[in-house]
Structure 1
Amino acid sequence: MPKSHPDSREKPQPAHPDKRKAELPWTAPKSDAEDPTAPRLIATIMNSPEYRQADEDVEFLQGEATRGVRLQLDYLKAENLFREHGIAHSIVVFGSTRIAEPKAIREKVTALEALVAQNPGDHEAERDLRIARRLLDRSRYYDVAREFGQIVGRVEGESGNRLAVVTGGGPGLMEAANRGAHDVGARTVGLNITLPHEQFPNPYLTPGLCFRLHYFAMRKLHFMQRARALVIFPGGFGTLDEMFEALTLIQTRKIKPVPVILVGRSYWENAFNPEFLMEEGTIDPEDRDLFWYAETAEEIWDDIQRWYDRAGQTLT
């Protein structure tokens, strides 16, 4: 029988993943028996902001030096959620927060009419009434956006839940599109933005699919990243900003062309004059053809499908 090696011994069992038999020196603080001032000094050290772990230090994460990290997190959280929910494509709807459902604006008009009647010569009230009546006229687009959301919502189920209506998550025409998808039981997404004043998401977003972003840049990125069409209803500065950003990205081919539809020709021909830009030579004729107008929900949807047929591509 071969003799065992003099240094051989039984091979040890794997160490416990969490516990030790002998405590390490730093697992207990220096006692007051050794130094009466030690507990107070240790508490002061551990309670200082600098001692906080970086990913638990909110003040540090909100500082100037960590803007790059925040940009990454702003992108990554929403990106992960899109992927977890299997949303590969989106129909993005932009539009005014001020154009509410007809019933709500009609009530406002009635109240202003009473105010003007009680205060003849009140120019501010008269102006507010004049604007409210124009908003009431435009409120027909709330119904168009809602109907369009219903159309896309029905298609979502047919596409294996890969296509979703995406808006900024606010009230007005964004709400209408989300509401339409909600009406037919489809998932619908909102990309809220953090603002200095309090705001609320509209109630028709799918829980878990309303994201709140800090940076407008990251919000725009998520609008465009999965967009299969951009449907742009009447709106103000925010809507115009999103429209021009999208058209610039397509013009320069930073993204592949997608359908861009401006809903409400009479509104857009007053708010934006591309023919003037073309005649001035600041855009090319082909840039004018990057978008077109539509009036009804069915027309919008038919135009999107026609665009993909002509491009030899599939929508979903």
Structure 2
Amino acid sequence: MDEEERSHPFRDSQQDVAAARITPDTPQTRAPAYRLAFTDTEFLLREELRPVRLQLELLKPQMIMDARGIRSTVVMFGGARIPAPAEKDSARTPELAALSRYYDEARSFARQMTERSLESYGAENVICTGGGPGVMQAGNMGAFQAGGISIGLSIVLPHEQAPNQYVTPDLCFNFHYFAIRKMHFLMRAKAVTVFPGGFGTLDEMFEALTLIQTGRMTRVPFILFGREFWHKVINWQALAEAGTISPEDLELISFVETAEEAVAIIDNWVVPCP
């Protein structure tokens, strides 16, 4: 008996799953009640099992990333509809076509951060996107072109959407619960970057900002690409003047236009004194 067998004297779950496959076929063994609970999909999908499913969605990516030795990530939020410059002529609006420059900035930023990640053998500064098209694809592409790994946190949507081809396959996760997906975006975040986007991007941006503002999350570089876009869609100063946020809350955000500006902010970051 080896050391592992001595430390685990009971039969493991995989052995019992294998045994269940060769169980004699009878009315009793065919009944749903006889299935092992953790292999019974109908049982796991019951309303009462939601807390278990939430826990599983938290644990699976966490355990896989821990096993890969990933200690910190650089998060890239941004619109799925932002086209690559080569595709801007087919954009839905002239405004989207103009925003295509941020696709290249996203790719360049991810490439530069991944070059730093390679210095730690992929443990630090790992690019993390939503795994979809647009800015997300640009981020994963930049990491791929640098020869590194990147994470994709996909979400099941009513319409078909496959992860983009540049996400590292072993780090391509799929979520049912938006809340758990958001936790994984921020649990290891060393920096958060936000590119122009729509409702989803705004949702992710404001939730992360709220966590930092309220002290529930350590302050990290929070970088918005596209001054003109962000000042047009959100009147930041009006929020401060109305008193709904404090003037110093505006200091949580940096605005940039280029990948180089964003990298410089991250490279020179010093955690502010509380």
Q: CA deviation at 1:311?
A: 4.4
Q: What SS does the aligned partner of 2:160 have?
A: coil
Normalising by structure 2, we get a TM-score of: 0.88
Aligned mates of 1:139, 1:105 — CA distance in 2: 6
In the alignment, structure 2 segments of 5+ residues that lack a partner are: 1-9, 12-23
Q: Which runs of 5+ in 1 are unaligned?
A: 1-16, 19-38, 110-127
Deviation at 1:284, TM superposition (A): 0.4
2:158 is aligned to 196
Establish whether residue 150 from structure 1 lines up as the match of residue 133 from structure 2.
no
Residues 1-316 of structure 1 mapped to structure 2, 5 A cutoff? 43-106=26-89, 108=90, 128=92, 131=93, 133-163=94-124, 164-308=126-270, 311=272
- Between Structure 1 and Structure 2, how many residues are aligned? 251
C-alpha separation between the residues in 2 aligned to 1:195 and 1:95? 17
CA distance in 1, matches of 2:63, 2:148: 20
Q: For residues 266 and 198 of structure 2, what CA distance do their matches in structure 1 show?
A: 24
Instruction: State the alpha-carbon separation in 1 of the partners of residues 75 and 101 from structure 2.
Output: 19
| SS of equivalent to 1:91 | strand
Larger Rg over CA atoms? 1
Q: Look up the SS of the partner of 2:216 in the other structure.
A: coil
Distance (whole Å) between structure 1 residues aligned to residue 267 and residue 248 of structure 2: 21
Further displaced range: 193-202 or 178-187: 193-202
2:17 is matched with which residue?
Answer: none
**Equivalent residue number for residue 35 of structure 1:** none
Can you list the C-alpha shifts for 1:272-303, whole angstroms capped at 9, x where unaligned? 11211111110001111111200000000001
Residue equivalent to 1:10: none
Deviations 1:11-40 (A, max 9, x none): xxxxxx99xxxxxxxxxxxxxxxxxxxx9x
State the one-letter code of the partner of 2:130: G
The residue type paired with residue 289 of structure 1 is E
Aligned equivalents of 1:82, 1:105: Cα separation in 2: 35
* 3-state SS, counterpart of residue 289 of structure 1: helix
The residue type equivalent to 1:139 in the other structure is: S
C-alpha distance in structure 1 between counterparts of 2:61 and 2:176, whole Å: 11
The TM-score with structure 1 as length reference comes to 0.76
The runs of at least 4 consecutive aligned structure 1 residues that moved more than 3 Å come to none
**C-alpha root-mean-square deviation of aligned residues, in Å?**
1.7
